[in-house]
């Protein structure tokens, strides 16, 4: 959950029910946001024709048509339906023109799909619009924070736009998954740190995220690169899709390194396309906007009751709503739930991913970037629950990959999957994996203890 924020899944209600609920919301909501210029831009997306895109939606349309007389339009044949009113009979078919009917149906279907696509982009630009994170990065460049509905956004695009606007290069960058999302710059006292995490990273992200810094000539002195349990999970075994927006940058870095790339067909953002065409997603996005009391915007504030906050240092702050949800009872429940799954699904390691990471480390060494590897600690409740299972044995293999790379390139490793070795406690977690700054501080203390040695090593390798 913490990787994507809290989203209410209404898919079980069925498309027709979702559309009906959305219609009621549109008809009954009389808030002032109807008159706002920001809403007007989103209202315009409904000017395009909207048609049924699946069977359940078609049923809803027919039901509406039987409730009141239909308005006859050119080319549309209608027939009386007694007391039930009017029903659509066909378009062209009544005149014996099946080809014309098929063409008209295709055109209407295409127009409807385009309308759904456009509406999803308009009501969730931070997730689906390529330029949706530009206002966020622009605000950060001015030293402002940015409030958002939740973390259902294109975080890779956020970091890409932000790095391109850096006024200066940070001393150290932390790269990893959402385990690090609350790691604010103040956790490192003696250097200027930027939090470069992205949600649900895989080995392609290791390449893709570094590409952003290389392309913008913002390579830092040091990078702390996190290696998580499923870092090298094979592409065919993945069931999540947050990594898809990072693929273009991965492919560019693979070209820099002279590496073969993952098949374009397999890495194309199919899921993102499906989401833009989803009526359920449209219902979620529209009703979220209509029911909101606060809207995304740049701000100097650091707390909102209903909005999460993205900070210029790349970290996040939770809303009051989220903080209320993150109880210790919930954290324990989530930890045990994930443990039940992971015990039977140990991490697999893709050899291609390891080879690509090896090449990346060689590249960073040539660029003069010092790398420190780190393992994020789990919630003690989760870690205790998976002990003795195949998952722990697989976790040792992931540790082994990090140790081999450290030995080859002379790197240091800090942190550990075992929270006892880091000093983290159950009360510092919101679920099985995501800890708060109090836990993360222990890891960055390790880094600062290591820093004098890193600086000595850097002086030795200078020409």
Q: What CATH number is associated with residue 226?
A: 3.40.50.1110
pLDDT tens, 163-202? 999 999 999 999 999 999 999 999 999 999 999 999 999 9
- The answer on 249 and 137 residing in a single domain is yes
Per-residue pLDDT, 43: 54
- The answer on 147 and 113 residing in a single domain is no
pLDDT tens, 368-427? 999 999 999 999 999 999 999 999 999 999 999 999 999 999 999 999 999 999 999 999
Q: DSSP letter at 429?
A: B
Structure tokens at 461: 């390798």
> Could you list the residue range(s) of the whole structural domain that residue 62 is in?
31-123
Q: How far apart are CA 201 and CA 270, in angstroms?
A: 18
Are 187 and 444 spatial neighbours (Cβ–Cβ below 8 Å)?
A: yes
Q: What are phi and psi of 371, to 5 degrees?
A: -115, 135
Residue whose token pair is 């397999």: 266
What residues have CB less than 8 Å from 458, skipping those under 6 apart? 221, 370
- The answer on 427 and 382 residing in a single domain is yes
- The answer on 412 and 314 residing in a single domain is yes
Are 221 and 370 spatial neighbours (Cβ–Cβ below 8 Å)?
A: yes
Cβ neighbours around 349 below 10 Å, total: 18
- The answer on 265 and 152 residing in a single domain is yes
Residue whose token pair is 């390790």: 446
pLDDT tens, 318-376? 999 999 999 999 999 999 999 999 999 999 999 999 999 999 999 999 999 999 999 99
Residue at 8 is within a domain: no
Q: DSSP readout, 5-67?
A: ------GGG-HHHHHHHHHHHHHH---GGGGSHHHHHHHGGGGS-----SHHHHHHHHHHHHH
- The answer on 257 and 310 residing in a single domain is yes
Residue at 217 is within a domain: yes
Residue at 20 is within a domain: no
pLDDT band of residue 11 (cuts 50, 70, 90) is very low
- The answer on 198 and 101 residing in a single domain is no
* Residue 45: C-alpha distances to residues 139, 273, 461 (Å): 26, 18, 58
Residue at 332 is within a domain: yes
Residue at 287 is within a domain: no
pTM > 0.85: yes or no: no
- The answer on 101 and 152 residing in a single domain is no
If residue 290 lies in a helix (H) or strand (E), which one and from where to where? Answer: helix 279-291
Q: How many domains does the chain have?
A: 2
- The answer on 168 and 256 residing in a single domain is yes
The mean pLDDT of the chain is: 85
Residue at 208 is within a domain: yes
Per-residue pLDDT, 40: 54
Where do the DSSP E strands lie in 268-410? 297-299, 308-310, 316-317, 370-375
Least confident among 11-25, 46-60, 107-121, 309-323: 46-60
196: exposed, middle or buried (Cβ count in 10 Å: 0-12, 13-18, 19+)? buried
- The answer on 197 and 119 residing in a single domain is no
Q: DSSP readout, 103-136?
A: HHHHHHHHHHHHHHHHHHHHH-HHHH-TTTTHHH
Are 227 and 373 spatial neighbours (Cβ–Cβ below 8 Å)?
A: yes
Residue at 319 is within a domain: yes
Q: What crossing angle do the helices spanning 15-28 and 55-67 adopt, rounded to 10°?
A: 50
Domain boundary among 107, 123, 139: 123
Per-residue pLDDT, 42: 62
**Chain-centroid distance, C-alpha 50:** 28
Residue at 12 is within a domain: no
């Amino acid at each position: 959950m913490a990787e994507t924020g809290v989203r209410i899944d209404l898919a079980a209600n069925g498309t027709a029910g979702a559309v009906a609920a959305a219609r009621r919301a549109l008809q009954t909501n009389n808030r002032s946001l109807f008159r706002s210029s920001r809403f007007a831009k989103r209202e315009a997306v409904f000017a395009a024709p909207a048609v049924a895109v699946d069977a359940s939606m078609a049923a809803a349309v027919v039901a509406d048509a039987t409730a009141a007389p239909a308005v006859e339009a050119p080319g549309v044949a209608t027939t009386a339906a007694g007391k039930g009113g009017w029903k659509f009979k066909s378009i062209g078919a009544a005149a014996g023109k099946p080809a014309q009917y098929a063409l008209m149906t295709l055109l209407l279907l295409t127009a409807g799909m385009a309308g759904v696509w456009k509406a999803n982009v308009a009501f969730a630009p931070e997730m689906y619009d390529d330029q949706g994170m530009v206002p966020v990065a622009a605000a950060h460049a001015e030293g402002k924070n940015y409030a958002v509905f939740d973390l259902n956004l294109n975080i890779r695009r956020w970091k890409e736009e932000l790095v391109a606007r850096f006024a200066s290069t940070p001393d150290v960058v932390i790269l990893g998954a959402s385990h690090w999302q609350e790691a604010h710059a103040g956790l490192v006292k003696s250097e200027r740190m930027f939090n470069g995490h992205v949600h649900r990273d895989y080995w392609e992200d290791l390449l893709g995220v570094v590409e952003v810094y290389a392309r913008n000539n913002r390579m830092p002195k040091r990078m702390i690169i996190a290696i998580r349990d499923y870092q090298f999970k094979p592409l065919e075994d993945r069931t999540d899709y947050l990594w898809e927006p990072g693929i273009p940058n991965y492919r560019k870095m693979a070209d820099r390194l002279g590496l073969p790339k993952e098949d374009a067909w397999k890495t194309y953002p199919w899921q993102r396309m499906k989401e833009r065409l989803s009526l359920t997603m449209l219902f979620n996005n529209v009703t979220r906007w209509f029911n909101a009391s606060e809207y995304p915007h740049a701000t100097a504030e650091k707390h909102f009751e209903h909005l999460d906050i993205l900070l210029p240092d790349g970290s996040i702050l939770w809303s009051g709503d989220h903080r209320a949800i993150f109880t210790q009872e919930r954290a324990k429940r989530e930890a045990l739930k994930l443990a039940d799954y992971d015990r039977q699904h140990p991490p697999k390691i893709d050899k291609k991913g390891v080879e690509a990471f090896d090449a990346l480390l060689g590249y960073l060494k040539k660029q003069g970037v010092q790398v420190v590897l780190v393992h994020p600690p789990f919630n003690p409740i989760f870690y205790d629950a998976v002990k003795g299972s195949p998952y722990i044995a697989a976790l040792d293999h992931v540790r082994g990959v990090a140790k081999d790379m450290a030995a080859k390139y002379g790197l240091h490793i800090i942190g550990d999957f075992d929270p006892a070795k880091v000093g983290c406690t159950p009360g510092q977690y919101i679920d099985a994996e995501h800890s708060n700054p109090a836990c993360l501080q222990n890891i960055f203390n390790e880094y600062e203890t290591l820093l004098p040695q890193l600086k000595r090593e850097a002086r030795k390798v200078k020409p």
